[in-house]
């Protein structure tokens, strides 16, 4: 026999061949917000809301949900069942009149009088004709359609899909429905009494499972699905006018020509309301469109509205303990399509990856913070940007040519942690072969290089640097938009020193009214706060202490500020603030700067702002110690600071090197 294969879109969950989510864009965005003073948790939430360059965010999904909800309300109106009943009634009456006009007997005249005097109410007219002896077969068929339609609509309100399934139903089909309702009511009554209904439920599903395509696995699941739709039906009824409700109540007794159906449905509704009081049984929906919908379709639309309202709340993520996993992907796919569900699933995976990757961690106070791993990733990204700017400005091109960390001496030695010298490939491979043989292996089957095998090329000693980066954290920095560029600069320099110049000693000093030595994590998450004073004097004291701790290294002093010093530290540890700057503050600041000059520090000031007074003052300070002044644009601050640091190392090392030596030859490639 021929074997037939069918192929279709994979629908068993997340695409197993999809690439892992890219965290780089998310981490960059989160890092920028954190440096602006936003908590990491909130920054992550904001990114999930905004989305990325090629990633739909929660706000866009929420907008589509709201749009879909408005479309349902705008395009539809309730009362479609009444319209259809009226149409069938008019059709039956017209056909009967035509037939009576052809009949000449006296009974036909009495029938005409009865037809002409039908009540204006649709429901009353249908009831009046319940025992009418139809002469026209077409009229009788139309009237029977009314009873069939009402029965199917009432059932479709409680059991989705029955309106279509029972179209052209036989008496046997209707009896099956009646039996199902009777058994269902008995099952729910037993469950309400607290009886063990597991076996009864299994028997019920064996007999009537075809009525429940959602395939509930327990009485509780069955209750959940039935109650949700019944509550939607009740909300639809609440949305009708009183006249419409009265008409439908009067018509309901004609459903399938079986008054017992109404009793069974009333019993079912009462059981569901008692067992699921938490459902919304009293709400309304404001349909205002032109397209009339029937009871079953209207109930489905009410359920759609409930789904959309729940999705709107889930997508808002504004409630306590909100998580992306809360989003009902099945409901989202039903309402907006599978692509929307894929977008939401991707965001959930992104949130999960951010939490599980180690980029976010809980502090001792319970607050979420960026981890050291996240700081390194952010530093790499910032350093790539800095490298690109420096290379573009200096005319360098991207290079992957390995360069030495100094002049090669010809000797080699075993690799040690922190070494950046190039490998001696020949000796490294030879060591790996010898170790493989000594361990009983066969080099012919391949070798594996172990870190113990690595030897590096000895280079001439290069002067190490002791670096102090002093950053102004006064409130004016935040007020004038310099807060984030300052932090990005510190993070880029920290990344460069900690990964490429491990022998250098970098200290970060933040100075506002007071100065303090801070680690990179603290500085990155530092909030802007109102604090009068720019205490450069205190910052220079801390920098000089750092320089004296490493007397054999080349001191490099980098100062980022946007204001003249307005505070100094007295001998008793108290801060003296004065604006305009007091002569004593100026004198003590200059005194400590000259002390840095005597220690041999290479000094660069990075002046932010266009104040003529600040420019004159900073120029004067730089001249006192033979330093430099740079007035960078904010987006170029990081490149200027890193360039100055590298320039200081070149001058101290006595070897003319290009930026490619640092960004290319030391294993860090521009743009990669």
Q: H or E segment at 630?
A: strand 628-630
Residues written for the chain: 672
Report, as an integer, the average pLDDT of 64-88: 72
Q: How many CA atoms lie within 13 A of 318 on its CB side?
A: 7
Helix (H, G, I), strand (E, B) or coil at 506: strand
**Residue 671 CB neighbours (<10 A):** 10
**Between helices 58-75 and 329-336, what is the axis angle to 10°?**
50
SS (H, E, C) 8-71: CCCCCCCCCCCCCCCCHHHHHHHHHHHHCCCCHHHHHHHHHHHEECCEECHHHHHHHHHHHHHH
* Residues 483, 598: Cα–Cα separation, whole Å: 31
Please tell me what DSSP assigns to residue 526: P
* Residues 495, 377: Cα–Cα separation, whole Å: 9
CATH superfamily of 465-663: von Willebrand factor, type A domain (3.40.50.410)
Q: What is the pLDDT of residues 180-238, one digit of tens each?
A: 888 888 888 988 888 888 888 889 888 888 888 778 888 888 888 888 877 777 776 66
CA dihedral angle for residue 576, residue 581, residue 582, residue 588, rounded to 10 degrees: 70
Domain ranges (residues) in the chain: 24-75+308-370, 79-286, 408-459, 465-663
CA distances for 96 relative to 91, 102, 103, 143, angstroms: 9, 10, 11, 11
Is the predicted pLDDT of residue 331 greater than 70, yes or no?
Answer: yes
Q: H or E segment at 470?
A: strand 465-472
CA distances for 247 relative to 112, 243, 253, 270, 669, angstroms: 25, 6, 11, 21, 78
Among 561, 559, 475, 562, residue whose Cα is nearest residue 513: 475
Per-residue pLDDT band for 128 (boundaries 50, 70, 90) equals confident
**Residue 148 CB neighbours (<10 A):** 20
CA distances for 671 relative to 170, 373, 642, 657, 658, angstroms: 74, 20, 16, 20, 17
| pLDDT score of 110 | 87
Q: H or E segment at 516?
A: strand 515-518
**Residue 28 CB neighbours (<10 A):** 17
CA distances for 672 relative to 384, 423, 639, 656, 662, angstroms: 7, 21, 17, 25, 14
Report, as an integer, the average pLDDT of 80-90: 76
556 neighbors 602 (Cβ within 8 angstroms): yes
Q: Which range, 236-250, 367-381, 452-466, is most confident?
A: 452-466
Q: Dmax of the chain from CA atoms?
A: 131
Does the pTM surpass 0.75? The reply is no
522 neighbors 486 (Cβ within 8 angstroms): no
539 neighbors 509 (Cβ within 8 angstroms): yes
Task: Give the torsion sign (CA, 613, 618, 624, 629).
Answer: negative
* Residues 194, 50: Cα–Cα separation, whole Å: 49
* Residues 602, 625: Cα–Cα separation, whole Å: 8
* Residues 406, 464: Cα–Cα separation, whole Å: 12
Is the predicted pLDDT of residue 641 greater than 80, yes or no?
Answer: yes
Partners of residue 414 on adjacent β-strands: 455
Residue scoring higher pLDDT (433 or 20): 433
Q: H or E segment at 455?
A: strand 455-459
Is the predicted pLDDT of residue 15 greater than 90, yes or no?
Answer: no
Q: What is the pLDDT of residues 489-538, one digit of tens each?
A: 888 888 888 777 777 888 999 998 889 999 887 787 777 776 788 899 99
Q: What is the pLDDT of residues 602-621, one digit of tens each?
A: 888 988 877 888 888 889 88
* Residues 199, 503: Cα–Cα separation, whole Å: 75
Is the predicted pLDDT of residue 657 greater than 50, yes or no?
Answer: no
Q: What is the pLDDT of residues 31-63, one digit of tens each?
A: 777 766 666 777 777 888 888 777 788 888 888
Q: Which of 27-41, 339-353, 428-442, 524-538 has the lowest mean pLDDT?
A: 27-41
CA dihedral angle for residue 83, residue 88, residue 94, residue 100, rounded to 10 degrees: -140
Task: Give the torsion sign (CA, 270, 274, 280, 281).
Answer: positive
| pLDDT score of 541 | 94
Mean model confidence pLDDT for the chain: 76
What is the C-alpha radius of gyration for the chain, rounded to an integer number of angstroms?
40
292 neighbors 79 (Cβ within 8 angstroms): yes
Note if the bond before 580 is cis, omega within 30 degrees.
yes
């Amino acid at each position: 026999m021929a074997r037939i294969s069918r192929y279709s879109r994979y629908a068993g969950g997340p695409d197993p061949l999809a690439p892992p989510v890219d965290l780089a864009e998310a981490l960059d965005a989160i890092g920028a917000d954190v440096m602006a003073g936003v908590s990491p948790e909130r920054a992550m939430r904001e990114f999930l809301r905004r989305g990325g360059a090629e990633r739909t965010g929660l706000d866009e999904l929420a907008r589509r949900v709201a749009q879909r909800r408005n479309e349902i309300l705008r395009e539809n109106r309730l009362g479609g069942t009444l319209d259809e009943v009226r149409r069938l009634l008019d059709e039956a009456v017209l056909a009967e009149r035509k037939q009576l006009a052809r009949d000449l007997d006296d009974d036909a005249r009495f029938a005409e009088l009865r037809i002409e005097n039908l009540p204006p109410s649709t429901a009353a007219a249908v009831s009046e004709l319940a025992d009418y002896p139809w002469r026209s077969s077409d009229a009788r068929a139309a009237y029977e359609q009314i009873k069939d339609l009402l029965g199917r609509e009432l059932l479709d309100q409680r059991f989705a899909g029955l309106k279509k399934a029972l179209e052209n139903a036989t008496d046997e089909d209707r009896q099956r429905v009646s039996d199902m309702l009777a058994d269902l009511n008995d099952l729910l009554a037993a469950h309400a009494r607290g009886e063990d209904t597991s076996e009864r439920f299994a028997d019920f599903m064996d007999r009537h499972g075809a009525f429940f395509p959602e395939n509930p696995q327990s009485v509780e699941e069955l209750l959940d699905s039935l109650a949700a739709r019944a509550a939607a039906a009740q909300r639809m009824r609440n949305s009708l006018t009183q006249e419409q409700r009265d008409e439908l109540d009067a018509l309901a007794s004609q459903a399938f020509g079986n008054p017992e159906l109404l009793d069974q449905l009333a019993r079912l509704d009462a059981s569901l309301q008692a067992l699921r009081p938490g459902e919304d049984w009293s709400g309304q929906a404001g349909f205002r469109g032109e397209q009339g919908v029937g009871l079953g379709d209207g109930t489905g639309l009410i359920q759609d509205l409930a789904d959309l309202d729940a999705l709107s709340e889930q997508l808002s993520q504004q409630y306590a303990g909100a998580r992306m996993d809360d989003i009902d992907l099945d409901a989202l796919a039903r309402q907006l399509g599978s692509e929307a569900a894929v977008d939401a699933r991707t965001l959930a995976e992104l949130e999960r990856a951010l939490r599980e990757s180690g980029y976010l961690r809980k502090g001792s106070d319970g607050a979420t913070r960026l981890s050291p791993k996240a700081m390194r990733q952010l530093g790499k990204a910032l350093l790539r940007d800095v490298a690109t700017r420096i290379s573009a400005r200096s005319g360098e091109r991207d290079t992957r040519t390995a360069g030495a960390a100094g002049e090669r001496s010809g000797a080699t030695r075993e690799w040690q942690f922190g070494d950046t010298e190039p490998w001696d490939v020949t000796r490294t491979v030879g060591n790996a072969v010898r170790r493989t043989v000594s361990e009983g292996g066969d080099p012919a089957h391949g070798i594996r290089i172990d870190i113990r095998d690595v030897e590096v090329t000895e280079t001439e000693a290069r002067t190490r640097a002791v670096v102090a980066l002093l950053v102004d954290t006064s409130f004016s920095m935040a007020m004038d938009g310099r807060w984030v560029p300052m932090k990005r600069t510190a993070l880029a320099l920290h990344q460069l020193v900690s990964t490429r110049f491990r022998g250098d000693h970098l200290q970060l000093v933040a100075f506002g009214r007071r100065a303090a030595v801070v680690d990179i994590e603290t500085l990155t998450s530092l909030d802007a706060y109102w604090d009068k004073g720019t205490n450069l004097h205190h910052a220079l004291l801390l920098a000089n202490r750092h320089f004296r701790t490493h007397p054999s290294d080349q001191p490099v002093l980098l100062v980022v500020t946007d204001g003249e010093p307005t505070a100094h530290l007295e001998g008793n540890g108290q801060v003296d603030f004065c604006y305009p700057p007091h002569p004593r503050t100026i004198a003590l600041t200059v005194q400590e700067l000259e002390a840095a000059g005597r220690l041999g520090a290479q000094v660069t000031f990075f002046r932010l702002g266009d104040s003529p007074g600040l420019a004159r003052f900073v120029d004067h300070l730089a001249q006192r110690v033979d330093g430099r002044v740079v007035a960078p644009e904010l987006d170029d601050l990081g490149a200027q600071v890193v360039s100055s640091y590298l320039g200081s190392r070149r001058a101290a090392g006595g070897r003319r090197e290009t930026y490619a030596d640092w960004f290319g030859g030391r294993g860090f490639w521009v743009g990669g």
